[in-house]
Amino acid sequence: MADEVKLPADSFEPLDKSKHLDSEKIAAPNLTFMQDAWRRLKKNKSAIIAMIILIIFFVLAFGSAFFSPHNPNAVNPQLANLPPKWPGVNINGLNGTLVQAGSRVNAYQAAGAGAGVHYWLGTDYLGRDMLSRILFGTRISLTVAIVATAVDLLIGVTFGLFSGWKGGWVDNFMQRVIEIIMSIPTLVVVVLLILILKPGMSSITLAIAFSSWTTMARLIRAQTLELKEQEYVLAAKTLGESSIKIAFKHLLPNLSSIIIIQTMFTIPSAIFFEAFLSFVGIGISAPQASLGTLLNDGQKNFQFLPYQMWYPAIVLSVIMIAFNIFADGLRDAFDPQTKG
């Protein structure tokens, strides 16, 4: 007969209240959806760097009245086409010198500029300060893009939400309208609107907004078709809540991540499109400056004075890249399953 195993007398006594099992501890704090998304976004270093770069550009652009060293539209022909000059820096390209007839000369002395005169990014063909014009031009480009995106957001979300919620023949009719609009080349629509409204900030903003809201509408419509079959929406309908209340209380909060992500992708597209229209001469008109008009002015002297085109091109490229990296980070933060 096998030996009996004797257990200690306290083997079946309940645990002390002061003793807590590790398995019963909460592994992580209870976070809301937005807090959890922010936690994931902070882990994405490239997205955070892009966000910081965008904040810096926004502060400099919309605070250009304080940061600009000169009046961006002040014409000074005798100081035209001066190269960049940084006080105390003796590096070619930043010391105010140019190569002429095989030798390097001080362009500021040749133009009769005073000893204390310097332009951080040089001047253009009319003697206007490039740094000030880039700051003001960035502000105009960002303003056009943000306002156009806001109009795009208002029309696209409303149209897509209504189409997806109603369904049936209403949805079919509204989708055919979107398909007709999308079948027309965007550039044709924009050019016609600008010709009717005359070139300027308002006309180019409306033109970009009118031609770009369809993508947002189709995304919102597709998600609304899925969300309206969820139990909490059906319960709200059963309780007699109005469609408007369901939209604001149940649908829009669950669509917020898609709206934010698509908005962050729409803004750089609007910036680039505005720059393109201004570059070809049908966008912002003189003497106002945008990144597109600065590129157009700079390419005329690119062979001899490349800095006039390089600087606005670098600003436009950095803004576009930063917006796209930040948008990718937001997409991964709001919906980690899409991360490939």
In terms of residue numbers, what domain contains 264?
A: 52-66+125-334
CB atoms under 10 Å from CB of 31, counted, come to 11
| Residue 116 domain-assigned (yes or no) | no
Q: Output the tens digit of pLDDT for each of the chain's 340 residues.
A: 455 666 666 555 665 555 555 555 555 567 777 788 888 888 989 999 999 999 999 999 999 888 888 888 888 888 888 888 888 888 887 888 887 777 788 888 888 887 788 888 989 888 899 999 999 999 998 998 898 888 888 999 999 999 988 888 999 999 999 998 888 887 887 788 777 877 778 888 888 888 788 889 999 999 898 888 888 888 888 888 888 888 888 888 888 888 888 888 888 888 888 888 888 877 777 778 888 889 988 888 888 888 889 999 999 999 999 999 998 888 888 875 554 4
Tokens coding 161: 């939400």
Q: Which CATH number goes with the domain that contains 315?
A: 1.10.3720.10
Residue 205 in domain? yes
Tell whether 43 is covered by a domain.
no
Would you tell me the crossing angle of helices 307-334 and 291-300 to the nearest 10 degrees?
150
| 179 located within any domain | yes
Distance CA 140, CA 147 (A): 11
Residues 6+ apart with CB under 8 A from 128: 70, 72, 73, 74, 75, 76
Structural domains counted in the chain: 1
Q: Is residue 114 assigned to a domain?
A: no
Q: Within a domain: residue 107? A: no
- Has residue 285 been placed in a domain? yes
In the 8-state DSSP scheme, what is residue 128? -
pLDDT tens figures, 71-119: 888 888 888 888 888 888 888 878 888 877 777 888 888 888 877 888 8
pLDDT in tens, 226-247: 888 888 888 888 888 888 888 8
* 18 inside domain: no
Counting residues of the chain whose pLDDT is more than 90, the rounded percentage is 20
Q: Say what angle helices 33-43 and 45-62 make with each other, to 10 degrees.
A: 100
111 backbone dihedrals φ, ψ, rounded to 5°: -85, -5
